[in-house]
Amino acid sequence: MPISWALLFIQLLSSTAVLGVRQTTQSHLRIVNGITIPISFAPWQVSIQVMGNHICGGSILNAKKFITAAHCLNLPAHQLQVRAGSTFRNTGGQLVNVVYAKKHSGYVGSPYKHDITLLLLKRKLNLSYKANKIDLASNSPYDGTTAFVSGWGRYVEDKNAFTIDLRIAVLSMIDRGTCQKSKYAERKMKITKGMICAASGGKDACQGDSGGPLVANGKLVGIVSWGLGCAKRGFPGVYTDVAYYRDWVLKNMDTLGS
Ligand code: ARG
């Protein structure tokens, strides 16, 4: 395990260096410009599915409770399943039915506000090195903190290019105030309280990564929520700020059922 982490780190750092140069010449690249990883590197990551199709990412909070984005829940909860413990979105691991979802009551669409939901599974997952829980961040990460986003979403913005293997990209956190001053300001798109951003030249989450984890210092700091396109210069990825919702999550986890 320590060796594989070292290798991952080297790969991530080298991809950062290469992409830092590319960023100036291409406006949208490809998780866009991540690398593939085995699920054991991000064992909290799950795929939320409808009739065998991946629709969103999510994270394991405990053996029966999950967190994702509210905008992933266009269907009744009982039509959803969660695949945990697999590197591949279409096969392997544990596939378990969802029985109940608790959406944030303040959730609104486009642009998403309070984009957060808890899910309760029908039965407990078997936790292992491939399917494990992650703790919620207590504080919003500082500007510039290194964070990892993972998912099975598009790796090219404008194509239906979904990956079979899980991907990860290393990003840098951008605080809400700084993010609001990005090109989102020109488009009059508001980065409201409860949102936080992350970016790194040419790398981003993309469609299909929604609901998935953004992790810094071993804690869940963000939930993939929205962005204008993917990996476009001046338009960071926007995430639900997990620390901001920590009390909501803890309270609602208790009342979700067991
Ligand atoms: N809303 C998208 C989804 O449903 C995720 C978008 C994230 N976009 C970004 N550029 N970071 O999958």
What pLDDT digit, counting tens, does each position of 137-165 carry? 999 999 999 999 999 999 887 777 778 89
Point out which residues pair with 223 in neighbouring strands.
213, 240
Q: H or E segment at 49?
A: strand 45-50
25-37 pLDDT per residue, tens = 333 333 899 999 9
178: left (phi over 0), alpha (psi -120 to 50) or beta: alpha
Domain annotation covers residue 141: yes
Distance 129 CA to ligand 1 centre (A): 27
Residues whose beta carbon lies within 6 Å of some atom of ligand 1: 153, 204-210, 224, 226-227, 230, 237
Which of 15, 54, 59, 71 is catalytic? The answer is 71
Same domain, 114 and 186: no
Percent of residues, the chain, with pLDDT higher than 90: 81
Same domain, 142 and 195: yes
155: domain CATH number?
2.40.10.10
Point out which residues pair with 53 in neighbouring strands.
50
Q: Which of 100-104, 162-166, 167-171 has the lowest mean pLDDT?
A: 162-166
Distance 167 CA to ligand 1 centre (A): 14
Domain annotation covers residue 70: yes
Domain annotation covers residue 233: yes
Same domain, 32 and 67: no
Same domain, 23 and 140: yes
Domain annotation covers residue 100: yes
- For the chain, the farthest-separated pair of C-alpha atoms sits apart, in whole angstroms, at 51
Specify the residue for token string 């096969």. Answer: 91
Q: What angle do CA 60, 63, 65 make, to 5 degrees?
A: 55
Cα separation, 243 vs 140, in Å, equals 5
Same domain, 183 and 140: yes
* Exposed / middle / buried, residue 248 (Cβ in 10 Å: 0-12, 13-18, 19+): middle
What's the confidence (pLDDT) of residue 4?
A: 53
What's the confidence (pLDDT) of residue 57?
A: 98
Residue of the CA atom closest to atom 11 of ligand 1 = 237
Residue 234 has pLDDT above 60, yes or no: yes
What's the confidence (pLDDT) of residue 5?
A: 53
What single-letter amino acid sits at 12? L
Count of domains for the chain: 2
Same domain, 126 and 139: no
Domain annotation covers residue 251: yes
Cα separation, 80 vs 176, in Å, equals 32
Same domain, 26 and 122: no
Same domain, 225 and 143: yes
What mean pLDDT value characterizes the chain?
A: 89
35-73 pLDDT per residue, tens = 999 999 999 999 999 999 999 999 999 999 999 999 999
Q: Which of 110-114, 164-168, 239-243 has the lowest mean pLDDT?
A: 110-114
Q: What angle do CA 216, 16, 152 make, to 5 degrees?
A: 65
Same domain, 171 and 202: yes
Tell me 208's DSSP state: T
Cα separation, 233 vs 228, in Å, equals 10
Task: Please state the φ and ψ torsions of residue 142, each to the nearest 5 degrees.
Answer: -70, 155
Same domain, 23 and 89: no
Domain annotation covers residue 111: yes
pTM of the prediction? 0.89
Same domain, 146 and 204: yes
Specify the residue for token string 């669409």. Answer: 109
Peptide bond into 213 cis (omega under 30): no
Cα separation, 43 vs 40, in Å, equals 5
SS3 239: strand
Same domain, 52 and 160: no
Residue 169 has pLDDT above 80, yes or no: yes
Q: With bands split at pLDDT 50, 70 and 90, how would you rate the model's confidence at 210?
A: very high
Instruction: Tell me how crowded residue 113 is: count the other CB atoms within 10 A of its CB.
Output: 19
Cα separation, 140 vs 202, in Å, equals 24
Q: 62 lies in which domain range?
A: 43-133+245-255
What's the confidence (pLDDT) of residue 15?
A: 45
Distance 200 CA to ligand 1 centre (A): 15
What's the confidence (pLDDT) of residue 227?
A: 96
